A and B are shown apart, each in its own frame.
Chain A
Amino acid sequence: MARVVKGDQQAFSQLYDHSSTLLFTLAVRILGNHEEAAELLQDVYLEVWRKVSRYDVGRGTPVAWLVTLTRSRAIDRLRARATRGYRATQSLGDGAAEHVADLGPNPFETQADQELRVSIGAAVAGLPQAQRQAIELAYYEGLSHSEIAARLNQPLGTVKTRIKLGMSKLRDGLHQYWNHGELQ
């Protein structure tokens, strides 16, 4: 990442190789279609290339930064789309099942990355369904707790508790992997 900051083309290419599948997966999950996800990824990487000098190489994980950036831009698009009255074709909660999973090995994924991915998948799958659903509605649909409460017809306090408990469980479950979180 430090080399990307200096404008290193090869480093940028490597950054793309390491992060594009994850970011594309995230964008497809949020936006529900591949074309728009590809468009978004193009915007995100070009923004990273233009503004990467503002990323402080001294701290944080670049992938976390990229994920946050991609999620934020995707949710913006989702809201803009809702404003235009467009209805997402994808219904809630079944997004992951609709994805065409790329089952082939990612050549840029290390064994540690793979283990991390499996662990996170297991940690998320291990959450009680209600907690997972609340977190996913916030994270992938961009809904606030009050919107989630209205959507699920549940008291606001219940929804807040579900998200808090779910996030804390994930944090505790993943604690041992955090130091391997960087895919740099």
Chain B
Amino acid sequence: MTHEELEESVPLYAAGALDRTERQALEAHLLSGCASCHAALKDHQSVAALLPLGLSQTSPPRALKATIMAGRNPAPIPEEAAQKEPAKPSLEPGEWMNHLFPPIAPARSWSLPWAVGLATLVIVAVGGYLSWNVVTQRSEDTSNIQQLESALQDKSTTLAILQREVGEQAKALAAVRSDLQQRTNEAAEAKEQLAQREADLEEARVQLSQRSGARTGGTPQDELATLLRIPNIKAVSLTGSDVAKHAAGFLLYDARTQKVWLYSVNLPECPNGTTYQLWAIQAKPVSLGTFHMDRGDTAHLLVKKVSNFTDAKTFALSLEPSGGRPQPTGPIYLLSRS
């Protein structure tokens, strides 16, 4: 990014509108010590911090203050180094972030500032000694003064080195913090994706259940499955006769829908020109419907709506000529146990 682009991104940064990459680019630029961008940021940041004043103000609940005052344990540890050091006239590179952004985690080591503080005290002491020496002794001991001056210069150099180290440390910490922020963001993104997947899955489930719901009354298999869950359904078991010893059947009658279901297995295939016909036998047999078993068929589901079906106790399945007959004429294949 050019300097112009970076400078233009300052108001967006203050409004909180930059994405992560641009934010990091600007922060790195500010860390490099660009005074004009720094000043612009302070300007815009001040505006941003005032924005909530423009909202119509809402007081917090009265009880909140008591809760907060009661919750302040342990007491804060005053930063001694901060108190001993005079306020710095300007921001050091890297330090502006501590001011503009709330502290997130203990990110700064105070050992180096302490060292700087100590070095400062040493310099003050050496300087004081120098003055005292000059005033009291007046011996014009030039070599001694030069020695002290050289010691002072050494200390100043040490101080400069320490200050540079502090600056570097701050930069490293800023990098670590930015890295941590990036990781946090990545984790948040991953979480978001996971949540999205879960939402998709849930939606798929809902659609699936809606579809299966819509299919109720659709395919006979689904309807049969629904029927089996109705407790007061009438169920009759049929067994194979001598001509079809392995055959069996299961008949259900739903009085609400007036439907009869016959699920039969292992019936032999119908010879050409014949069909199976189901009978309900009360006073006399009443045909409930016909169906055909082809070669290779092992099971069949017959579904018929029967309005005149009432209280038949016995059911039978016979083999009849194609189209069925008003009365059973052929051999019985399945018969209910009465």
B195 and A38 form a contact (CB under 8 A):
no
Q: Does A69 contact B (CB under 8 A)?
A: yes
CB contact list, A129-162 vs B, under 8 A: 134-135, 138-139, 142-146, 148, 159-160
A83 and B72 form a contact (CB under 8 A):
no
B11 and A168 form a contact (CB under 8 A):
yes
Report the contact-size class of chain B (Cβ under 8 Å from the partner): 35 or more
Q: Which residues of A contact B195 (CB under 8 A)?
A: 83-85
Q: Does A123 contact B (CB under 8 A)?
A: yes
Q: Which residues of A contact B57 (CB under 8 A)?
A: 21-22, 25, 101-102, 106, 117
Q: Does B188 contact A (CB under 8 A)?
A: yes
Q: Which residues of A contact B103 (CB under 8 A)?
A: 51, 54
A134 nearest in chain B by CB position = B17
Q: Which residues of B contact A38 (CB under 8 A)?
A: 60-61, 64
B64 and A42 form a contact (CB under 8 A):
yes
B64 and A41 form a contact (CB under 8 A):
yes
**CA–CA, A125 and B55, complex, Å:** 10
| Cβ of B241 to closest chain A Cβ, rounded Å | 62
CB contact list, B22-58 vs A, under 8 A: 43-58
**CA–CA, A96 and B137, complex, Å:** 74
| Residue of B15, B19, B51 touching A163 (CB-CB under 8 A) | B15
A42 and B19 form a contact (CB under 8 A):
no
**CA–CA, A71 and B72, complex, Å:** 21
Q: Does B255 contact A (CB under 8 A)?
A: no
Q: Does B295 contact A (CB under 8 A)?
A: no
With a 10 A CB-CB cut-off, give which of B49, B72, B98 has the most chain A CB atoms: B49
Q: Known interface pairs A54-B103, A123-B54, A170-B47. Does A79 touch B61 (Cβ–Cβ under 8 Å)?
A: no
| Cβ of B259 to closest chain A Cβ, rounded Å | 43
Report the contact-size class of chain A (Cβ under 8 Å from the partner): 35 or more
Dominant secondary structure of chain A at its interface with chain B: helix
Q: Does B16 contact A (CB under 8 A)?
A: yes
**CA–CA, A117 and B18, complex, Å:** 27
A49 and B47 form a contact (CB under 8 A):
no
Which of B73-81, B215-223, B263-271, B279-287 participates in binding chain A?
A: B73-81
Q: Which residues of A contact B78 (CB under 8 A)?
A: 5-7, 53
A50 and B76 form a contact (CB under 8 A):
yes
Q: Known interface pairs A64-B49, A83-B191, A120-B51. Does A49 touch B17 (Cβ–Cβ under 8 Å)?
A: no
A117 and B54 form a contact (CB under 8 A):
yes
Q: Known interface pairs A16-B68, A51-B103, A71-B16. Does A124 touch B54 (Cβ–Cβ under 8 Å)?
A: yes
A139 and B48 form a contact (CB under 8 A):
yes
| 20 contacting pairs across A/B (C-beta < 8 A) | A7-B78, A20-B60, A29-B52, A37-B60, A42-B67, A54-B103, A56-B98, A58-B88, A67-B52, A68-B102, A96-B55, A102-B59, A116-B50, A121-B55, A135-B15, A138-B15, A138-B17, A143-B17, A145-B17, A167-B11
Known: A37-B60, A42-B71, A84-B195. 6 other contacts (CB 8 A): A49-B72, A56-B98, A117-B54, A121-B55, A145-B17, A160-B17
Give the top 7 A-B pairs by smallest Cβ distance, nearest first. A58-B87, A69-B102, A138-B17, A64-B49, A167-B11, A53-B79, A24-B60
